[in-house]
Chains A and B, each alone.
Chain A
Amino acid sequence: MTQEESRAAYWRANLRLLAILLTIWFVVSFGFGILLSQQLNAFSLGGYPLGFWFAQQGSIYTFIILIFFYAWRMNVLDRKFDVHEE
């Protein structure tokens, strides 16, 4: 693989990761927390109606996990494509 192909492959892998993570980001906050919240409220988590929980608690926890997963996964990709820092 030439350097150019390798870089292009690195970028494609990055974009694929972004697409997956941003889909989760959207579904959890805008989907579960807003659009589907009223349907999800039929279920509950302790005293939390589920849609309410996603809007005021769950989406924030999800965001944190998404960023750390991204950071970890990108470090793996950096090494795989030999573009990691010292």
Chain B
Amino acid sequence: MDLKTLSFIVVGATFAIYIAIAIWAKASTTSEFYVAGKGIHPTLNGMATAADWMSAASFISMAGLIAFLGFTGGAYLMGWTGGYVLMALLLAPYLRKFGKFTVPEFIGDRFYSKTARIVAVISLLVMSITYVIGQMRGVGIAFSNILEVELATGLYAGMAVVFIYAVFGGMKGITYTQIAQYVIMIFAYTVPAVFIAIQLTGHPFPQIGLGGTLAGEDTYLLDALDKTLMDLGFAAYTSVAGMTMLNMFLLTLALMIGTAGLPHVIIRFFTVPRVRDARKSAGWALVFIGILYTTAPAVGAMAMYNFINTVQPGPVGDPQGNVIIEERPDWMLRWERTGLLQWEDKNDDGRLQYYNERNTEFAEMAREEYGWEGSEFTRIDRDIMVLANPQIAGLPNWVIALVAAGGIAAALSTAAGLLLAISSSISHDLLKGVFMPRISEKRELMAGRIAMGAAILFAGYLGLNPPGFAAEVVALAFGLAAASLFPTLMMGIFFKHINREGAIVGMLVGLASTLLYIFLFKGWFFFPGTNVFPDTADYWLFGINPTGFGVIGAILNFAAAYAVSSITKAPPEHIQKLVEEVRVPRVGTS
């Protein structure tokens, strides 16, 4: 059976599973729609959280990013997992104890202010909408690259499926679908990784293989990779390259704080029955995430090693050392068709060279000694590293079809979680909380469904017509989560004296400073060409990359909230009591 038919069957089968779950898990109350009736087992919730959290970016892009960054790629690995420690220790159990439906609801009640609630809704909407665009696009891209259908067709198919299970099932439908999606996703990610680890190192576990020796040799894989890269003028894989130590530090911290402040992940902890389930569930979430996140660095390094050895099978500098263009492998042909891989035979030797042409000393030497006229790969999209991996390793077609289904599952599960956060903040926080407090439960449920449907259409539209800033979107969403929601939630629990005025000013300062800094370098509202300063290290304030600025925004939020709270009236008695109650799982009897 050819790859295309096989891929359609595998992806179609996964869609059938999602729809079957939707029929089985229909939500009939607002509690089921918003928080799955608070009846999800902590381990299953951990699995759903993992799927909710791991997006198209984790599944498709992260390993490629690490492959080209090497050691400093660890910022993404640590940043996107370390945030769970903050979430588990500082937020999840207390917000579960509070026992309501949404994140802005906590902020509104704790800071006894509808204004605070609305500011929180605005931050939530800005970050969730920017984030969901990338997911919808991810669905379309996975379809068009692997199933070879139009991007729009893939997007419509994805939207239709999400519509069915998210609109009818709400959080309940989304949770059970996410559990299925996690299983598909992790299987799709680890199967090729295991095969490749066995081929290269003889170890079935990629985590061990990355630290092992090459199969049948005494050389360690990482040492071989370091040497191969340095022979071609690149920095060693295990050395600090690609970003400075300061930016690695700040990026890691910004991603951690941002992760902990993402509302669509936080609300997952509202679905478990008890406070202690929320604590344990965060641990399970990280176990399930960790399976992919500890595999990713092996996938990245091994893909890099395989790629270079395909291009440069012989010694560097030997005229016969590089791959002959006519004999290049099938996977290259396949990805050339998508435009994601491009080359140009600059020195007309009929072979392909890949090296670091920006290393002037090496490039100079290569020109004189080897006759190389520049690195001949003019485009290697990092995203193809994961998608092409099974083909590079020569794995059977069903594995490639599985990777397609996994990528789509990753994007759909995250999109559904974000769409729920968006629709619940509109129907529960804005409609019920602010504009129509006396709305009946039945009508609120209907409003939630309509908001969900509208959010899907809106996200789909933006996925089809992206505002030209898809790449910066994730950085923005994390920066905003770090600078606005996380500090306010944490202060709401740990600092009793922070009051309404402090929280509102803090959130606005955090939001505004982070947006401003990003816009200065990336352009106002991301319109190309409207940036005030070039986006290079020379112009960054103290050398801080806009991606890592969320940390500074968070610090400003804390400082502003503290300063304003100490010169305005302390929170009323009943709020201080509320904070004390949130801090204990059950009010004591002694």
Contact = CB atoms under 8 A, between A and B. Distances in A.
Which of A1, A3, A38, A85 is most buried by chain B, counting CB atoms within 10 A of its CB? A85
A35 B211 CA distance: 22
Interface in B232-255: 238, 240, 245, 248-249, 252-253
A33 B74 contact: yes
Interface string A33-52: 11101100100011111011
A70 B279 contact: yes
B287 A57 contact: no
A85 B274 contact: yes
B189 to A, nearest CB: 15
A18 B85 CA distance: 10
B297 A56 contact: yes
Contact of A71 (B74, B253, B283): B283
Given A34-B245, A47-B221, A70-B279, A63 B584 contact: no
B579 to A, nearest CB: 10
A65 B71 CA distance: 23
Given A25-B85, A29-B78, A71-B276, A82 B589 contact: yes
Contacts of B210: 47-48, 56-57
B585 A56 contact: no
B366 interface: no
Nearest to A73: B279
A54 to B, nearest CB: 8
B465 interface: no
Contacts of B220: 46-47
Contacts of B290: 60-61, 63-64
Contacts of B212: 46-47
Given A41-B238, A82-B589, A71 B279 contact: yes
A86 to B, nearest CB: 8
Query: Do most interface residues of chain A lie in helix, strand or loop, or is the interface mixed?
Result: helix
B486 to A, nearest CB: 14
A82 B590 CA distance: 8
Contact of B71 (A55, A59, A75, A86): A55
A85 B276 contact: yes
B274 A81 contact: no
A55 to B, nearest CB: 3
B275 to A, nearest CB: 6
B89 interface: yes
Contact of A78 (B88, B223, B585): B585
Contact of A45 (B71, B74, B211, B221): B211
Contacts of B84: 63, 67
A32 to B, nearest CB: 10
A60 B211 contact: no
Query: Do most interface residues of chain B lie in helix, strand or loop, or is the interface mixed?
Result: helix
Given A47-B212, A49-B222, A67-B84, A6 B588 contact: yes
Interface in B63-83: 66, 71, 73-75, 77-78, 81-82
A38 B287 contact: no
Contacts of B222: 47-49, 52
Given A60-B81, A67-B283, A53 B211 contact: yes
A34 B85 contact: no
Interface string B266-293: 0000000011100110110011001001
B81 A59 contact: yes
Contacts of B71: 37, 51-52, 55-56
B223 A57 contact: no
Contact of B252 (A1, A11, A29): A29
B490 to A, nearest CB: 11
B283 A34 contact: no
Interface string B316-352: 0000000000000000000000000000000000000
B238 A82 contact: no
Given A18-B89, A67-B85, A35 B249 contact: yes
A12 to B, nearest CB: 11
B114 interface: no
Contacts of A10: 584
Interface string B293-327: 11001000000000000000000000000000000
A19 B584 CA distance: 18
A51 B71 CA distance: 9
Contacts of A81: 584, 588
B218 to A, nearest CB: 11
A62 to B, nearest CB: 9
A59 B256 CA distance: 13
A27 to B, nearest CB: 12
B77 to A, nearest CB: 6
A53 B513 CA distance: 35
Interface string A4-17: 00110011001000
Contacts of A57: 207, 210, 294, 297
B228 to A, nearest CB: 14
Given A53-B211, A56-B73, 20 more contacts: A10-B584, A21-B85, A22-B85, A45-B211, A48-B222, A51-B71, A55-B77, A55-B78, A57-B207, A57-B294, A59-B77, A59-B81, A60-B286, A60-B294, A67-B282, A74-B93, A74-B276, A83-B587, A85-B275, A85-B585
18 contacts: A29-B82, A33-B78, A45-B211, A46-B211, A46-B220, A47-B212, A55-B77, A56-B73, A57-B207, A60-B81, A64-B283, A66-B89, A67-B88, A67-B286, A70-B279, A74-B279, A82-B588, A83-B584
Interface of B: 66, 71, 73-75, 77-78, 81-82, 84-85, 88-90, 93, 207-208, 210-213, 220-223, 238, 240, 245, 248-249, 252-253, 274-276, 279-280, 282-283, 286-287, 290, 293-294, 297, 580, 583-590
Which 8 residue pairs across A and B have the least CB separation, nearest first?
A55-B74, A47-B220, A71-B279, A67-B283, A46-B211, A48-B211, A56-B297, A83-B584
